[in-house]
Amino acid sequence: MKKFLDLISEEIMQAFEDAGYDRELGRVTLSNRPDLCEYQCNGAMAGAKKYKKAPIMIAGDVAAKAEDSKLLAEVAAVAPGFLNIKVKESAVSDYLKKMAESERFGLEPPAKKEKIVMDYGGPNVAKPLHVGHLRSAVIGESIKRIARYAGHEVISDIHLGDWGLQMGLIITELKERKPELVYFDENYTGEYPEEAPFTISELEEIYPTASGKSKEDPAYKEKAMEATYRLQNGVRGYRALWEHIIKVSVTDLKRNYQNLNVEFDLWKGESDVHTVIPGMVEYMKKEGYAHMSEGALVVDVKEDTDTKEIPPCMILKSDGASLYNTTDLATIMERMEKLHPDEIIYVVDKRQDLYFEQVFRCARKTKLVDKDTKLKFLGFGTMNGKDGKPFKTREGGVMRLETLISEINEEMYRKITDNREVPEAEARETAKVVALSAIKYGDLSNQASKDYIFDIDKFTSFEGDTGPYILYTIVRIKSILNKYKEQGERLENAVLQEAVSESEKALMLQITRFSAMMENAFEETAPHKVCAYIYELANDFNRFYHETKILSEEDEKKKAGFIALLVLTRDILETCIDVLGFSAPERM
Ligand code: ARG
C-alpha cells in the first residue's frame, strides 16, 4: 500500500505539473503549524528563482489546479508562498479501512529482503547479569523485532562470554575449595558426574572472589592463566568442569532473559570458534596480513585518513593465547561461512567503539567478510542513576539486574493494588507485565547512543511519556471494547466512518503514519522512533476519548465507526509494543 503522505504528495506534484511547473517541487510534509493545516508544501518558494515569479503567484496557480482533487479538502496559497493543505475526511477513513484489511497495516515488504545476524546480550558465563547487560538485551531485542516486522530475516545470537581468563579463574577457585573433585585428577579416565558440583548462587559468588584474589596475588593469577590454558588446550577434566559451568549458568541466563521477554535463536559463545582460530591465524599469516610485533601477532589497521590513533589489531598474544578480538574475528568468519548474512549488527556498550572499529577494519582487510556485507556497531550509552553517575545500589555496589527488576516489580505492585482495578490474585502477574513496560520503554524512548537516567518514579508513572501510560491507554480501549461486546454487539461488524470531530480526524491521521514510521525505525535502527510514535498516538487517542461519548452515542452507525477506530488504534498500539518487546495486560 502506498504511504498516505505519498498519495498527498502525488496530488500536489500533479497540480504543479498541470500548472506548468516542475513536479518535483510538489513534495509535501507534515504541517509544522497543525493549528492551520494538516500538511504543507514549500515548493513554490523553492521554485521562485527558477521561474522568476513571486512564490505566492506559483502557489496560487497550484492551488487552483488542486481544486477538484478527490483527496484534498483544501489547498490554500498563503503568504509568502506556502501551500497549506487539509485532506478530506473520506480520504482518511478510506485509507484506514484499507490499512485495517491489509497485512501489516499496509506496510510494504522491503525491496530486498536482507539476512541480518544480530549480536546482542553478550552476557558472561558465571557472572551475574548487571544493569549494563540490560541495555544490550532490551535494545537488541527491539531492533530484531523491528527488522523482522519490516520483512527481513534476522538471526539473533547471544554471543556468550565463555572462553577467557574468567573461566580459568573459576576453575582455580573451585580447585582450592573442592580439591577432592575428580575433574582435577590428570590420570582420571572414568565418567564425570551428571550433576554439577555447585549451584548457580555458588558460581556467582565464586567469580568475584577469584577475580579479587587474582588482583592481589600474582601467584593466584598465574594459576588461573595456567588453568585457562589447560582448558583451551583440551584437558579432559577441565573441559568437563567447564561444561558444567556453562550448563548451570545458561539455565539461569535463559530464565533471566525469558523474564525480560528476550529470545535468542543461537546460544553460541566465544568458545564455539576456538577450533576455527588456528586456521584463521594460519590464513592471516599466509596471506601476509598478519605480522609479528614485540612477540605478538598483529594486523595493522590504520588508514591514511585517520585523525586519531588506531592501534593494530592483536590476533595472538606473545604466549600464543587468543584474545577477545580473536574470537570476534573468528566468529565473523564462521558467520560468513555458515550464514552468509547481508549485515551483522552488534549492540554493545559504546565504550567498545574503538575496539569494534579495529575488528571491522581487520575483518575487511583480511577479507574475512564479503565486500557487500555490512558490519554495523550500535553503541549504547550508560544507564545512570538520578545523580547522573552510573547506576549503583544504595550501598554503592554494582546493581544486579534481578535486584533492579524486583524493585520495579514491587513499585508497580504497590501502584496496581492502590488502583484496585485488578483482583488480588492477578496483581502480581499484572505488576510484572507493567514493570517490564516501564523498564523497556524507559530505556528505548531515548536514542540508544545517549546515556540516560534511570528514574524509577518517572518510569513507573501512569502519566507522561512512559510504558505504563501506553499500557493504560491500551487497557482503556480494551475495556470500552469489552463493554461494547457486553451490549451484544460484534466488533467485526463495526465499520469505520468519516471523522466527525477534529480530535477524531487527528487520531485517524496519526494512524495513517504507521508504515512510514516503522520503515524509518528500521532504516535508522531506532526503537525510540516507535516510542515517540505511540506516545503521540496515545495522546491523540486520549484527547479523542475525553471529547467523545463513545458507548452512549445514539447514532448506531457513528458509534460503530468509533468502535472500528478503537479496534484499529488498539491493534496498532499492540503491534508497536510488541516490536518494543513488551505486552499489555487485560486490566491494570
Ligand atoms: N561479553 C562482552 C562484555 O560483557 C560483550 C560481548 C559483545 N559482543 C561481541 N561480539 N563482542 O563486555
CATH superfamily name and code, 115-162+269-380 = HUPs (3.40.50.620)
Mean pLDDT over 523-539 rounds to 98
- Ligand 1 atom at minimum distance from 349 CA: 12
Confidence label for 443 from pLDDT (cuts 50, 70 and 90): very high
Q: Determine whether 61 is exposed, middle or buried from the number of CB atoms within 10 Å of its CB (0-12, 13-18, 19+).
A: buried
Ligand 1 binding pocket, CB closer than 6 Å: 119, 122, 124, 159, 161, 328, 346, 348
Instruction: Give the cell for residue 404.
Output: 533492579
3-state class of 526 per DSSP? coil
Percent of the chain past pLDDT 90, that is, above it, reads 89
User: Tell me: the pLDDT tens digits for 444-465?
Assistant: 999 999 999 999 999 999 999 9
- Ligand 1 atom at minimum distance from 356 CA: 11
Pocket test for ligand 1, best of 334, 348, 358, 359 (most atoms within 8 A of CB): 348
Q: What's residue 336's pLDDT?
A: 97
- Which segment of 374-383, 414-423, 552-561 scores lowest on mean pLDDT? 414-423
DSSP 8-state secondary structure symbol assigned to residue 161:
B
Q: What's residue 392's pLDDT?
A: 82
Pocket test for ligand 1, best of 352, 353, 359 (most atoms within 8 A of CB): 352
CA 45 – CA 170 distance, rounded (Å)? 70
Q: What's residue 321's pLDDT?
A: 82
Torsional sign, CA 408, 413, 416, 421: positive
Pick the CATH number of 4-87 from 3.30.1600.10, 3.30.70.80, 3.30.1360.70, 3.20.20.150: 3.30.1360.70
CA 408 – CA 401 distance, rounded (Å)? 11
Confidence label for 519 from pLDDT (cuts 50, 70 and 90): very high
Q: What's residue 190's pLDDT?
A: 94
Amino acid at 438: A
Tell me which residue has its CA closest to atom 8 in ligand 1.
122
Tell me which residue has its CA closest to atom 10 in ligand 1.
328
86 has a pLDDT exceeding 90: yes
CA 344 – CA 356 distance, rounded (Å)? 12
Amino acid at 312: P
Quote the ligand 1 centre to 349 CA distance (angstroms). 8
Longest CA–CA separation in the chain, Å: 95
Q: What's residue 386's pLDDT?
A: 87
- Ligand 1 atom at minimum distance from 124 CA: 1
298 has a pLDDT exceeding 90: yes
User: Tell me: the pLDDT tens digits for 203-239?
Assistant: 989 999 999 999 999 999 999 999 998 998 889 999 9
Q: Which helix (H) or strand (E) holds 73?
A: strand 72-78
Tell me which residue has its CA closest to atom 3 in ligand 1.
122
Tell me which residue has its CA closest to atom 7 in ligand 1.
122
3-state class of 489 per DSSP? coil
Amino acid at 93: S
Place of cell 498541470: 18
- The dotted CATH code for 401-580 is 1.10.730.10
Q: What's residue 420's pLDDT?
A: 84
Pocket test for ligand 1, best of 125, 156, 159, 270 (most atoms within 8 A of CB): 159
Confidence label for 397 from pLDDT (cuts 50, 70 and 90): confident
Tell me which residue has its CA closest to atom 2 in ligand 1.
122
380 has a pLDDT exceeding 90: yes
- Ligand 1 atom at minimum distance from 331 CA: 10
- Ligand 1 atom at minimum distance from 328 CA: 10
What are residue 480's DSSP bridge partners?
none
Domains 4-87 and 401-580 share a fold: no
Q: What's residue 68's pLDDT?
A: 87
User: Tell me: the pLDDT tens digits for 261-283?
Assistant: 999 999 999 999 999 999 999 99
Mean pLDDT over 349-368 rounds to 97
Quote the ligand 1 centre to 141 CA distance (angstroms). 15
Ordered alpha helix ranges (H), 233-345:
236-259, 277-286, 324-339
Quote the ligand 1 centre to 509 CA distance (angstroms). 42
Q: Mean pLDDT, the chain, as a whole number? A: 95
Mean pLDDT over 110-125 rounds to 96
186 has a pLDDT exceeding 90: no
CA 511 – CA 397 distance, rounded (Å)? 45
Give residue limits of the domains in the chain: 4-87, 115-162+269-380, 165-259, 401-580
> According to the 3-state scheme, what is the secondary structure of 341-386?
CCEEEEEEEHHHHHHHHHHHHHHHHCCCCCCCCEEEEEEECCEECC
Beta strand 72-78 pairing with 82-87: antiparallel
Quote the ligand 1 centre to 161 CA distance (angstroms). 7
